[in-house]
Amino acid sequence: MIDSVLYWLDGAPLYQLGALLLLAMAAAWWAGHVMRRRRERRGEVSSSENQGYIVSAILGLLALLLGFTFSLAIDRFDARRILVLQDANAIGTAYLRVQLLPAPHRARLTNLLLQLTDNKLALATAPYRKTGALLAREDRLLTDIWAADAAAFDAIKHLDFSSTFLDSMNTMIELEASRRAARQAHVPTTVFAILLLYIVVTAGTLGFSLWGSGSPFSSGVLLVLFTLSLLLIVDIDRPTMGSIREQQGPMERLRASMRSQLPTVYDRWRMPEARQP
């Protein structure tokens, strides 16, 4: 049962998660309010007694828990953002070194690297249901790239450049694995489940402890703010499902550079002297 709930939380749309949490908080607040009224009728608590110190302690701890979870999500977001830059740099370096290869390896690898860059950008912005096909295509492209590397290496293995060429390709493939692992790493679902439970318990405590004509409104505002904070954290922590994703600026600039500077650009000094002005 618990595993089923955690599985649902891991992939539930934000609007469903927010609506369920608001309903649970409203029910908990009303239950706390009813309990307070019953205890008042039995004389166990005064109708004018406002246990603000309890509310302050609970809200402070909830804010601390949300802040800690937010820092974990931001750390993972920053790691994914840095990997975009590193990945773009690795592909750019490999692309430049490919231009030093003889034909037909140069044209083959240039085309494959362009396709790989396009696929990475599509994968970074694709809806979750389409990521499976794009990941499979990326795997095929990496296999083709390594096969093309093997063929190119046979032609240059007698040169010192061969090891440098392979190092750049290895770095590019390693960063692909790092980016894929970063997309799968997130704050444990159990942490979010505990936070949800804590927010609901807080709603019940507010319904019981706060008293006065403005208590329902103030309680509602606080709980809605905490809910929005939690949903923001969940959104940041979902690299393939959320709406907040790391910017792909470095990869986009790389693709634009690769497409605007075709391999012939790097041949202008290779022209025979007779054809030079």
Q: What is the pLDDT of residues 62-115, one digit of tens each?
A: 888 888 889 988 999 999 999 999 999 999 999 999 999 999 999 999 999 999
Q: 262: which DSSP letter?
A: -
- Give the C-alpha separation, 117 to 127, whole Å: 18
Rounded to whole angstroms, the Cα distance separating 273 from 57 reads: 82
Question: Could you give the CA distance from residue 150 to residue 142 in angstroms, rounded to a whole number?
Answer: 12
Answer whether 198's CB lies under 8 Å from 39's CB.
Answer: no
Contacts with 243 (C-beta within 8 Å, 6 or more apart), sequence order = 235
Where is pLDDT greater, at 108 or 271? 108
The b-or-e profile of 70-101 (16+ CB within 10 A means b, else e) is bebbeebbeebbebbebbbebbbbbbebbeeb
Query: Which pLDDT band, with edges at 50, 70 and 90, does 212 fall under?
Result: low
Position 7 pLDDT exceeds 80: no
Q: What are the structure tokens assigned to 6, written together?
A: 């955690």
For 247, the 3-state DSSP assignment is coil
- The DSSP H or E segment spanning 48 is none
Report the pLDDT value the prediction gives residue 83, as an integer from 0 to 100. Answer: 94
Q: How far is CA 225 from CA 59, 200, 204, 216, 228, in A?
A: 12, 13, 16, 14, 5
Given a cut of 60, whether residue 202 has pLDDT beyond it is yes
**Confidence bin at 126 (pLDDT 50/70/90):** confident
The pairs formed by 225-229 with CB atoms below 8 angstroms and a separation of 24 or more are 226/62, 226/63, 226/66, 226/199, 226/202, 227/18, 227/21, 227/22, 227/25, 227/199, 229/66, 229/70
pLDDT at position 214: 57
User: What pLDDT is recorded for position 271?
Assistant: 62
Please, which residues have CB within 8 angstroms of residue 223's CB and are 6 or more apart in sequence? 25, 29, 199, 202, 203, 206
Predicted confidence (pLDDT) per residue in 19-44, tens digit: 888 899 889 988 888 887 787 777 66
Do residues 32 and 204 make contact, with C-beta atoms less than 8 angstroms apart?
yes
Query: Hey, CA dihedral for 213, 218, 224, 226, is it positive or negative?
Result: negative
d(CA 96, CA 263) in angstroms, rounded, equals 9
The candidate with the shortest Cα–Cα distance to 29, out of 9, 53, 55, is 55
pLDDT of the residue at 276? 43
Whether 120 shows a pLDDT value over 50: the answer reads yes
The pTM (predicted TM-score) of the whole model is 0.81
DSSP code at position 192: H
